[in-house]
Amino acid sequence: MILKDTECLLFDMDGVILDNTYDNNFWQNQIPGVLAKKRNIPFEDAQRLAIQIFNYKKNSKDWYDLDYWSNMLDIDIEEEKKAKESYEKIKLYSGSLPCLEKLKNKMKMILITNAHRKTLNIKLQKYDLSPYFDEMVCAHELHYVKEDIQLWYMLKSRYKIDFTRTVLIEDTIKNIHVGLSAGISKAIYLGNEKCNMSDKIIGMSSIDDVPSAFN
């Protein structure tokens, strides 16, 4: 499908441009390891505790808020994210920069991520993606997350986006459905969840394939 007349691209970051390894390892291994030492408990117990605490806030604004978790866990989450063992795991998908390079002058480009601004800044220190985007938006600064339809209405209003000429590029099918419900015209899905493709959702295997939709 060729997506003609597209004026704006809304790009997710993690799982689309950046590999999820950094985030998954951080919350599943690194923070439980810090908790284990701090509370003098076995790693497996700390891991179970962390999963219970994190799941309680999943899909909420707090889940992505580094300051919230720093207070909750009594751990400097930002500093842990900057630690070498963590920082070195931040990786771009191989096709990310070529894709962004091909698309950046064709239409308006907006990065929309659930990541906290501190998390975004850490990732941008390693890979400066800012030259490719007209705006880089952290959802929590609009007081919602992408799982909440209000976020998309806020985004549309604040950045004067014509959703009828907008394509969302995402790896989370729930976020795609919410975005489409808010009026976004089309979506490119890069995730692994099972879902039914439609005339509004185009499945692609990787970011390498995205530019072909706009040729």
pTM greater than 0.85 (yes/no): yes
CB 167 within 8 A of CB 186: yes
- The torsion of the CA quartet 148, 149, 151, 157, rounded to 10 degrees, works out to -170
pLDDT at residue number 21: 92
H helical segments located in the chain: 21-25, 31-39, 43-56, 66-73, 77-82, 84-87, 96-103, 117-126, 149-158, 173-181
pLDDT at residue number 62: 83
CB 134 within 8 A of CB 110: yes
* Residue in the block written with tokens 């207070």: 71
Q: Of 88, 89, 73, which is closest to residue 34 (Cα–Cα)? A: 73
pLDDT at residue number 39: 93
Q: Of 44, 47, 54, which is closest to residue 28 (Cα–Cα)? A: 47
- The torsion of the CA quartet 4, 8, 14, 15, rounded to 10 degrees, works out to -10
pLDDT digits (tens, 9 = 90+) for 23-41: 999 999 999 999 999 999 9
Structural domain boundaries in the chain = 8-19+91-214, 21-87
* Residue in the block written with tokens 């941008």: 124
Class of domain 8-19+91-214: alpha beta
pLDDT at residue number 3: 75
* Residue in the block written with tokens 């300051």: 67
3-state secondary structure 29-74: HHHHHHHHHHHCCCHHHHHHHHHHHHHHCCCCCHHHCHHHHHHHHC
pLDDT at residue number 186: 95
Separation between Cα atoms, residue 42 and residue 209, nearest integer Å: 44
- Which residues of the chain are modeled with pLDDT < 50? none
CB 30 within 8 A of CB 85: yes
Distances (CA, A) of 63 to 30, 53, 114, 145, 167: 16, 10, 9, 10, 26
- The separation between CA 137 and the C-alpha centre of its own chain, rounded to angstroms, equals 10
Using alpha carbons only, what angle is made at residue 53 by residues 49 and 55, rounded to the nearest 5 degrees? 115
Using alpha carbons only, what angle is made at residue 156 by residues 154 and 161, rounded to the nearest 5 degrees? 160
pLDDT at residue number 190: 94
